Amino acid sequence: MANCLQHKTFIVQQLYIIVLLGLFNCQKPVPKPTILDNCLSIEQVNLLTKMIRSFEDDLSKYYHFSKNEPEKTIKKYLNEIKTPMKNDSLILEIASPKSKELLQKSFTILSDDVWTTYQEEYGNMQDNIYILEEGDTLEAIIKDEQEALKRYKNKHLVRTNGKLVDCFYSKTSDESSKELFRLLMDSGAISPDIIINGILSLKTKISNSKEIEAYIALDLFYSPLDFNLK
């Protein structure tokens, strides 16, 4: 009788251990820390991670480069979008349906922490300072700005004074990258050509700076993609 009880006790203990192991194995793995931790919400970080990955996948597929060659792929993309006439059509060709879908989601989930609108950025034209070149007239410049505002007012730009860029600035350990983010924070809207040239002249590899890589995806891919989507 005693042996029987001992046997039953042993079986119960074994079952208990199996159940515990099963519960332990079912637990989700702890996510790896990212550059955006403590800057944005978990939902925002997850979406941004998906957006960056989709951007990289789109480039690799379009250029037929290996995913193990991010430096080569991103630099080729940056050099190509420096040509304004090619910029619009190129981005539309590269962007996958998945990237377009993630972009639309981001306007709600990321909102003011990452994005601002063209209206918000350029709507106060009375604050503008104009430098007229030969052949320019103030009236013509203002007319062009009004037409652009009407056309693009609801399109999205990266908010350079928002949480995201501030996070990139505080997180990066590379001094040249830090200078670039400081310039963006201080100057606001800067010509894409200047940003691209600044990125290409960085001492560090783009693929070694997750902050720069993320900024490229948002400001030089997703934002112009929004401007080109109807």
For 177, the token pair is 């990258």
CA 191 to mean position of chain CA atoms: 18
35 in Cβ contact with 210 (< 8 Å)? yes
How confident is the prediction along the chain (230 residues), in pLDDT tens digits per residue?
544 444 444 444 454 444 334 433 444 444 444 556 678 999 999 999 999 999 999 999 999 998 888 899 999 999 999 876 556 789 999 999 999 999 999 999 999 999 999 999 887 765 666 666 777 787 888 888 889 889 999 999 999 988 999 999 998 888 888 999 998 898 877 788 889 999 999 888 888 888 999 999 999 999 999 999 98
Dist. CA 220–CA 180, nearest whole Å: 15
Cβ atoms < 10 Å from Cβ of 193: 12
Q: Which two tokens stand for residue 22?
A: 């099963």
Q: Which residue ranges make up each domain of the chain?
A: 35-228
The residue type found at 44 is: Q
Cα 42 from Cα 32, distance rounded (Å): 12
Find out whether 187 and 62 touch, Cβ atoms under 8 Å. no
Residue 136: what pLDDT?
75
Q: Which of 188, 199, 162, 224 is nearest to 36 (CA)?
A: 162
The C-alpha atoms of residue 25 and residue 28 are separated, in whole angstroms, by 8
119 within 8 A of 125, measured Cβ to Cβ: no
Instruction: Give the whole-angstrom CA distance, residue 50 versus residue 104.
Output: 13
Closest residue by Cα to residue 184 from 230, 146, 218: 218
Q: Output the pTM of the full model.
A: 0.80
CA distance 57 to 34: 19
Residue 132: predicted pLDDT:
65
Looking at residue 75, its pLDDT comes to 93
CA dist 117 and 152 (Å) reads 9
